[in-house]
């Protein structure tokens, strides 16, 4: 196995099991190392720190797969997959759903790999070159250990371009239905894993859907960036007086309508195709429960300032137009914007609008999207529940 050595005093993060080695920390690279190759990582004096895969194209030059003397053999990767599956299978917080994130990249010690399970059908994403080179091995392990109904690949994330990879999508095992029906806490949803956002559904909003369901009784609900209507269905089954779903995608709204029909929703429902930014600027809000769940506005550190301006504009228009007494669930899935910054942006928007609001809840990602205690960067989803005066 070829080796890289770190510069002097650059080993502390790896010794603390952080899985990323940045290019600036590397002092020596053995000749002939290929991008994506698994290599041994050693400190300045030659002591072994662990193994990871290398990519000269990226700022994160090495993503660690093991620490200490563990070798990256099939048996080791199999143990990681089985451990991730066991954590989900034995978790009572997932007892009322048949769909969840099975493997969450660094959160499950398999950087670059995402696997979601929808009613026994797996959807896989390889986000890095190193994991792309391990893909056949991982598919074999998933097949042999979990016996899924099918495996479909959705490795079309834009971050693959930074790794020197083209997008990849298609069937890897079995036959995945065009639309899978998943179940969650008495709700059912159609999932299109081939054309939907992410892997087809926002599994990471499960806990917040339950929150909305508990808040919705008798309320007029406005679901902004509604996608396929997950929050809308939750609000309807929670007893909402009416629900309006707004999204820019006609296909997403059609699937939202189908999800309402699937759940036999009887409350009045409206579906509006619109860009949310002008939608909020153009009129009053006739709702007293608003869900604001935009896509990630900051996809990298360079875009944080622009993303904050976008978040502020959304909240400013909302603050200017929502009635007194409105409850707002506002979310950000931008990893590069932490909760403190997100809260500051929302505060500035309400201050500029001259409106009072209180934070009555803070929420994050669910248990199947674990935050590694060694890698706090795995925390990306944050949500605040606001009460507007």
Instruction: Report pLDDT digits (tens) over 113-124.
Output: 999 999 999 999
| 284, pLDDT greater than 90 | no
Catalytic residue among 269, 308, 333, 375: 333
- Look at residue 196 in the predicted model and tell me its pLDDT: 82
Residue from 284, 260, 280 nearest 271 by CA:
260
> Are 282 and 321 in contact, with CB atoms under 8 Å apart?
no
- Look at residue 226 in the predicted model and tell me its pLDDT: 97
- Binned at pLDDT 50, 70 and 90, residue 211 comes out as very high
> Is the pTM value of this prediction over 0.85?
yes
The mean predicted confidence, pLDDT, of the chain is 96
| 251, pLDDT greater than 90 | yes
| 300, pLDDT greater than 90 | no
Q: Which residues of 319-352 are buried (b: 16+ CB within 10 A; e: fewer)?
A: bbbbeeebbbbbbbbbbbbebebbeebbeebbee
- Binned at pLDDT 50, 70 and 90, residue 360 comes out as very high
> Are 196 and 169 in contact, with CB atoms under 8 Å apart?
no
How many percent of the chain have pLDDT more than 90? 94
* CA pair distance 144, 142, nearest whole angstrom: 6
Tell me how far apart the 2 most distant CA atoms of the chain are, in Å: 69
- Look at residue 93 in the predicted model and tell me its pLDDT: 97
- Binned at pLDDT 50, 70 and 90, residue 260 comes out as very high
Is 132 buried (19+), middle (13-18) or exposed (0-12) by CB count in 10 A? buried
* CA pair distance 157, 316, nearest whole angstrom: 31
C-alpha to C-alpha distances, 46 to 4, 64, 170, 248, nearest whole angstrom: 9, 17, 43, 55
Identify whether 333 is a catalytic site residue: yes
C-alpha to C-alpha distances, 324 to 97, 245, 327, nearest whole angstrom: 36, 21, 9
- Look at residue 48 in the predicted model and tell me its pLDDT: 97
| 150, pLDDT greater than 90 | yes
The per-residue pLDDT for range 24-37, each reduced to its tens digit, is 999 999 999 999 99
Average pLDDT value for residue range 339-347: 96
Strand partners, 272: 246
Question: Hey, which bits of 314-356 come out as E strands?
Answer: 327-332
């Amino acid at each position: 196995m070829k080796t890289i050595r770190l510069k002097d005093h650059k080993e502390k993060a790896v010794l603390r099991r952080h899985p990323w080695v940045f290019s600036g920390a590397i002092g020596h690279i053995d000749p002939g190392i290929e991008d994506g190759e698994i290599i041994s990582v050693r400190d300045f004096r030659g002591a072994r720190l662990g193994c990871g895969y290398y990519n000269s194209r990226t700022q994160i030059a090495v993503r660690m797969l093991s620490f200490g003397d563990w070798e990256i053999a099939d048996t080791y990767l199999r143990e990681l997959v089985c451990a991730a599956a066991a954590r989900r299978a034995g978790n009572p917080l997932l007892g009322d759903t048949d769909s969840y994130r099975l493997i969450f990249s660094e959160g499950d010690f398999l950087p670059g790999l995402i696997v979601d399970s929808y009613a026994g059908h797996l959807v896989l994403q390889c986000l890095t070159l190193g994991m792309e080179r391990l893909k056949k091995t991982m598919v074999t392990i998933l097949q042999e250990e979990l016996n899924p109904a099918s495996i479909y690949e959705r490795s079309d994330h834009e971050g693959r371009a930074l790794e020197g990879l083209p997008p990849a999508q298609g069937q890897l095992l079995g036959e995945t239905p065009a639309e899978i029906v998943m179940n969650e806490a008495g709700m059912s949803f159609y999932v299109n894993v081939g054309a939907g956002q992410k892997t087809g559904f926002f599994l990471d909003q499960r806990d917040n859907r339950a929150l909305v369901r508990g808040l919705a009784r008798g309320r007029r609900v406005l679901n902004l960036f509604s996608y396929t209507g997950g929050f809308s269905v939750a609000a309807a089954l929670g007893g909402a007086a009416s629900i309006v779903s707004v999204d820019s995608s006609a296909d997403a709204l059609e699937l939202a309508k189908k999800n309402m029909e699937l759940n036999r929703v009887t409350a009045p429902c409206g579906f509006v195709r619109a860009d949310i930014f002008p939608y909020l600027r153009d009129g009053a809000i006739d709702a007293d429960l608003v869900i604001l769940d935009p896509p990630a506005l900051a996809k990298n550190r360079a875009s944080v300032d622009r993303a904050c301006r976008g978040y502020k504009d959304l909240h400013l228009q909302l603050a200017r137009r929502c009635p007194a007494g409105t409850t707002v669930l506002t979310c950000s899935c931008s990893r590069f914007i932490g909760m403190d910054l997100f809260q500051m942006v929302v505060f500035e928007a309400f201050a500029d609008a001259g409106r009072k609001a209180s934070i009555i809840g803070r929420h994050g990602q669910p248990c199947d999207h674990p935050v590694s205690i060694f890698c706090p960067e795995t925390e990306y989803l944050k949500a605040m529940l606001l009460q507007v005066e």
